[in-house]
Structure formats: structure tokens, C-alpha cells
């Protein structure tokens, strides 16, 4: 399994972190849209994630320099949002809602089932790169609890059996 803790150091060391000229122009365009250019930090981080695959500490430092921010400031933003990945992510993202309605309806049991079936913990990716497992805040489908997001679709009314069928469909 791969975690969020820098286990990809060899990859990071060999991959230069730099936007293209066109991407830097886009960064400047985004920064010019707002009275405070820091408002463009999120879209630039998304651009960085698309470009480099995930937001490593090196990417955080690179983006921080583009905004005259400290790397720690960017790190706080990256670690706040579950849409940013700090290690290579799986081909599929399985994100179980752990907020109140889902929790009361059985989300902890669903997460435990997924951990067992996938052999990974929350925040980790299977060795074959198939699935990254996340536990996230409310996904705004509380009436269908417990639920989760699998890539770009919602899965409602989860049971262990339904989770198994969903996992079988992920290649
Ligand atoms: S609490 Fe799970 S979708 Fe809102």
C-alpha cells in the first residue's frame, strides 16, 4: 500500500517540478482575476495536481513561491481539502461520507468493510494502484445514508453486499 507520507521520495527526486510557459501564463491570468491574488491558490493547486499527478511537498513549495507564501501556508490548504492528493492516487477514488447522517446509518461499518476488502487503511492506495480509500465530510446526499462517492458518481444506501458489487466493477 502507498500512504500520504512521502513514500514516493525516489519519484519526487527524479521529477522536476515546474509549470510550462503556457501554464505560468495561466497562473498569472488566474491571479489577476482577484483583488487578492491568493484567491487563485485553489485553482492553481488543481492545475499543479493535474500536471504533476499529486501535490508533493516539492509541489507545495513551488506553488508557494508563485504566490509569495510560505510552504507551510500551502501545506495547510492542501491538507484541509480531500480533493488534493499528497501521494500518487489510485485509478479509482472511493470516498465514504463519515458525517452525522451517514455515521448514524452505518458508515463506520462500511469503512471497516472496505478496509478489510481492500487491505488498506483510509488515506491509502492498494498496491496495484486500483483504489484509493478516503473518509470525507458530508457529500450532500444525507437522505440516502450511508453513501459514498466513487470517482464521479454517488452510491447510496450502502450495505456490505452492495459495496462488494461496486468494488467488483472497479478495474
Ligand atoms: S452526512 Fe453523509 S451525505 Fe450528508
**63 and 99 housed in the same domain:** no
Same domain, 67 and 107: no
Distance CA 65, CA 80 (A): 20
Look up the domain containing 163 and give its range.
Answer: 92-168
**Which CATH number is 97's domain given?**
3.40.30.10
pLDDT less than 50: residues of the chain: 5-13
Alpha carbon of 139 to ligand 1 centroid (Å): 5
> Do residue 24 and residue 65 come from a single domain?
yes
Nearest to 59 by CA among 73, 45, 72, 70: 45
* Residues in the chain, total: 171
**Atom number of ligand 1 nearest to Cα 98:** 2
101 shares a domain with 50: no
- Closest among 88, 37, 82, 83 to 63, alpha carbons compared: 37
pLDDT at 16: 83
Specify the pTM: 0.82
**Domain co-membership, 75 together with 103:** no
Ligand 1 proximal residues by C-beta, below 6 Å: 97, 99-102, 138-142, 145, 147
pLDDT of residue 99: 97
Which residue out of 105, 134, 142, 156 has the highest number of ligand 1 atoms within 8 Å of its CB and is therefore the one to mutate? 142
Amino acid at each position: 500500500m502507498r500512504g500520504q507520507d512521502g513514500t514516493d521520495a525516489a519519484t519526487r527526486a527524479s521529477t522536476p517540478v515546474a509549470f510550462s510557459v503556457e501554464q505560468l501564463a495561466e497562473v498569472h491570468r488566474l491571479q489577476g482575476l482577484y483583488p487578492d491574488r491568493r484567491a487563485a491558490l485553489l485553482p492553481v493547486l488543481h492545475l499543479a495536481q493535474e500536471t504533476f499527478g499529486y501535490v508533493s511537498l516539492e509541489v507545495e513549495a513551488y506553488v508557494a513561491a508563485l504566490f509569495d507564501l510560505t510552504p507551510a501556508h500551502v501545506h495547510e490548504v492542501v491538507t484541509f481539502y480531500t480533493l488534493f492528493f499528497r501521494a500518487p492516487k489510485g485509478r479509482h477514488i472511493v470516498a465514504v461520507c463519515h458525517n452525522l447522517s451517514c455515521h448514524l446509518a452505518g458508515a463506520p461499518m462500511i469503512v471497516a468493510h472496505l478496509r478489510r476488502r481492500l487491505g488498506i487503511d483510509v488515506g491509502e492506495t492498494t498496491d496495484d494502484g486500483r483504489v484509493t480509500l478516503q473518509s470525507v465530510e458530508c457529500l450532500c446526499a444525507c437522505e440516502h445514508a450511508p453513501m459514498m462517492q466513487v470517482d464521479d458518481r454517488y452510491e447510496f444506501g450502502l450495505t456490505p453486499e452492495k459495496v462488494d458489487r461496486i468494488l467488483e466493477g472497479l478495474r
